[in-house]
């Protein structure tokens, strides 16, 4: 099966994938990791003027690194697609 990393859009969080997408992918036997970008979702407390696209790219790279993920399917919704 596949490993998915899903990235939410602006003003969202990892929670935005949890109602429909994550359960369906997992029910099909896939592994799913939902990232929350710095300054958004449950990480709004980390917002500051220096948070930008590069910060969010690093957030996703950190998920890949710390979870030791390789050959993933990366899915981004709206702004998450740009990241």
What pLDDT is stored for residue 44 in this prediction? 87
Q: Are 37 and 52 in contact (CB under 8 A)?
A: no
- Among 44, 52, 78, 82, the active-site one is 78
Per-residue pLDDT band at 74 (split at 50, 70, 90)? very high
Strand partners, 2: none
Whether residue 78 lies in the annotated active site? yes
pLDDT at 68 over 90: yes
pLDDT tens sequence across 14-61: 999 999 999 999 999 999 999 999 999 999 899 999 999 999 999 999
The C-alpha atoms of residue 25 and residue 28 are separated, in whole angstroms, by 5
Helix ranges (DSSP H) in 1-78: 15-18, 21-27, 53-66
């Amino acid at each position: 099966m596949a490993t998915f990393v899903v990235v939410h859009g602006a003003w969202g969080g990892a929670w935005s994938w949890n109602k429909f997408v994550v359960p369906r992918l997992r029910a099909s036997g896939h592994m799913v990791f939902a990232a929350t970008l710095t300054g958004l979702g449950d990480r709004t407390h980390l917002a500051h003027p220096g948070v930008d696209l590069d910060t969010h790219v690093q957030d996703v790279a950190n998920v890949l690194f710390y979870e030791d993920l390789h050959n993933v399917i990366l899915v981004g919704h709206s702004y998450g697609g740009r990241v």
